Structure 1
């Protein structure tokens, strides 16, 4: 590396005064250390603006002074301030600083209509308060504390493992203490009390995990459209929120009228909010299951040691792989697998109820509700890139595998017993309907899982996706939506020409025919809605 180039890079990163100080520090290093650092090309160094953004995040995260570093370690396994600062930087890249009046009015109108429609489809009262209309940054600010709480057991396991590896396997290399660490080519002296290798690794682990959490949350802020998108309550406001910029961009990407999409997303959010507000045991049950799984995570110390040896330097970014669960976690224990299965089952039951109620509430008001519902089901089954990254960081899978099956189950209960009896099953977890065992999902399955002509409903979407060897990254959502829209276009045209006003029963029947056709082109995920749906008089249309 040319000395003039690194000199200029330091000035660009830290300004003329601090840049010169950093250059003087670098010049005073032992020749062998300096030569090793200078052997890197300038092109391998981060851009000055990236360094400045990171320094700003570190300042916001309380890493300015030795005393702040010490406090950060003592406050917990995750530096939430740092994670929030980094996430906000990501969220504000292309994000609106405020919700403009027109978008806010459209969202609030959709929210108001959604609650009116839900009054006719479920027995639960609206959640207390008013649903918010948030920016991406607002979503980060209001949800990151909850994510950090879920991630804390994972981060604690990481920090303890890092400390153990450093003390037990690298201790001799440091003669009991560390004089400093490197952030790129800049040496950073360590304060007294932080030069113990084990304590240092806790700081590095705390910081590295917070950086990854912040980046993941920032990326996720550009995907989420509602506060309940992950299927759990994350906001302190029980009424939930819409992230209106993302919702409108989603409508544009689908090519569907934005008012329809906003109405559909508002229905989804309001249905979640009513359920969680009316069922006091629901969120504590999720927290218990998530905690049980996270506390069982164990770290492979050999794998972590290998990742640390491969790290180019002892700084938060270089050791990121050492705190990555996908690279250092030991496979799930039987207890963890049990907790994860219970979590996935409860998520499916929740999402199935929301799916069923949303469809009933909106079928007469949202022309493309079938296509929107189908796209949402598929997205929930596989998750977006940011969501998968986020889940791998936390060690959690918050995607319901059997949402179709659960929706069909709630449809059937509503048709047979009525809305009051259906919603009354949430009074206690023991009263919830159970999904059939996945082991029984064979072609020769039960009557409840077949149509009248004996054709089995392919309602386990994840299984079908696996069977067809489609990975999340291989799915072209635009192409999938085009298929759904093309398959429904001719049927919609005929319906509009034959009827001046479509009644709910005919819409329901046409939707089922349309969706069945579209599913044959997409992973054979045949909709199970035709089990137990009702017409205007509530009569059941499928015999069990």
Structure 2
């Protein structure tokens, strides 16, 4: 059974009469005045914080110091296994609320493109006679854009609140969500990741610090990579074809004066866009790039941990399963922007980077990141061990601009 949205419904505010509802309608009016874009980010943040429901443990000084030391040690170990220098300019320990605050700007750039299409489609799908029947003086008659933004903000907020319970680092979903050069762990979630693995807490922390520091090196010293990933997601979202017939059916049942009817309409798969052949191609490109990023991180972290860390292989397998099979984080992102960020070919990509390292050394492997044209393709992942045999030293030189 669907709960009434935002506290509306019988008993909301402790009263069924109008006076008991007035503060709620005043709040709704404030939310509907949002003009900042297709997603009401004020509401999204408010609901995300509410979803956490006090689950925001402060980071004590000892934990903060342990994380700083783990990142420092991780960078020392990585110096031996990659040509890319440290990308860490500062180290932070985030609470779950900190993660929300620090990553919202990037989430906005990822979610707004698909939201704008859905909200525009909703606005155009309301039958004109339905709005006219409400009377030209009705303040809700012309605000379906705001209603759409409000409802999308609700979806995003609930999703981000759930995601904040799971992510362990700034780069945990494979896309750099935090500020440039800021390596960050979320200690509360790091502890949750380690549950059931039967490894010491400091070992789990160091392993995840290695992954975070490796991501920071890649994003910090491959200048085109961060924007290419973000552009790939945005390009995918921009090309989404919204199922107008589904929206028209849903909007035909909406009473704009009744927020619950809007919520019910949006809960029936309205945010499941059609996937075109062009979108499949874009998704294949994005999945390949994500797999190459995650495969490189997997390979260099394995090399750095090596014999130094007794539980390295167990932690590696746990991390692989978490990223490659998907979980709440991936499902949340799929809901928010209409695609999955699952590096489906993580193992093939890791094997490819290992093979290139064996054939061309660390310098030869990392030189492939010098230019996007040098990167392996999806077809190369079909034969990860053969890719190293097909490249020569001259091919590792970036094309002239």
| TM-score bracket for the superposition, by shorter chain length | 0.7 to 0.9
Does the 8 A contact of 1:406 with 1:435 survive in 2? no
Partner in structure 2 of residue 76 of structure 1: 37
What displacement does 1:329 show?
Answer: 4.1
Does the 8 A contact of 2:330 with 2:342 survive in 1? no
2:354 is the alignment partner of 1:408: no
Structure 2 alignment gaps of length 5 or more: 1-7, 390-401
Deviations 1:63-88 (A, max 9, x none): 654xx744x1x321111121112112
Partner in structure 2 of residue 12 of structure 1: 14
205-214 vs 103-112, which deviates more?
A: 103-112
Q: C-alpha distance in 1, partners of 2:86/2:53?
A: 32
Does the 8 A contact of 1:227 with 1:242 survive in 2? yes
2:44 is the alignment partner of 1:88: no
Q: C-alpha distance in 1, partners of 2:329/2:376?
A: 32
Partner in structure 2 of residue 487 of structure 1: none
Aligned residue among 340, 357, 369 for 2:300: 357
**TM-score (norm: length of structure 2):** 0.86
What displacement does 1:214 show?
Answer: 0.6
Q: C-alpha distance in 2, partners of 1:253/1:139?
A: 24
Partner in structure 2 of residue 155 of structure 1: 115
Deviations 1:336-373 (A, max 9, x none): 11111100000000000000000001112221111111
Does the 8 A contact of 1:300 with 1:328 survive in 2? no
What displacement does 1:328 show?
Answer: 5.1
Deviations 1:84-103 (A, max 9, x none): 1211222353221x201222
What displacement does 1:8 show?
Answer: 9.5
What displacement does 1:433 show?
Answer: 2.6
Partner in structure 2 of residue 513 of structure 1: none
Does the 8 A contact of 1:11 with 1:20 survive in 2? no
What displacement does 1:205 show?
Answer: 0.5
Partner in structure 2 of residue 21 of structure 1: 19
What displacement does 1:318 show?
Answer: 3.9
Does the 8 A contact of 2:241 with 2:276 survive in 1? no
Alpha-carbon spacing, 1:94–1:423, altered in 2? closer, same or farther (3 Å):
same
Rg larger in structure? 1
Does the 8 A contact of 1:87 with 1:214 survive in 2? yes
**TM-score (norm: length of structure 1):** 0.64
Structure 1 alignment gaps of length 5 or more: 1-5, 26-51, 180-189, 450-530, 533-544
- Aligned counterparts, 1:132-151, within 5 A: 132-151=92-111
Q: C-alpha distance in 2, partners of 1:81/1:7?
A: 23
Q: Secondary structure at the match of 2:195?
A: helix
Does the 8 A contact of 2:83 with 2:362 survive in 1? yes
Between the two proteins, the alignment pairs up a number of residues equal to 381
Structure 1 outlier segments of 4+, above 6 Å: none
Does the 8 A contact of 1:122 with 1:357 survive in 2? yes
140-149 vs 252-261, which deviates more?
A: 252-261
Does the 8 A contact of 2:14 with 2:20 survive in 1? no
User: How large is the RMSD of aligned CA atoms in angstroms?
Assistant: 3.0
Q: Secondary structure at the match of 1:132?
A: strand
Q: C-alpha distance in 1, partners of 2:13/2:156?
A: 30
Q: C-alpha distance in 2, partners of 1:7/1:326?
A: 23
Question: Which structure ranks higher in relative contact order (CA pairs < 8 Å, sequence separation ≥ 6)?
Answer: 2
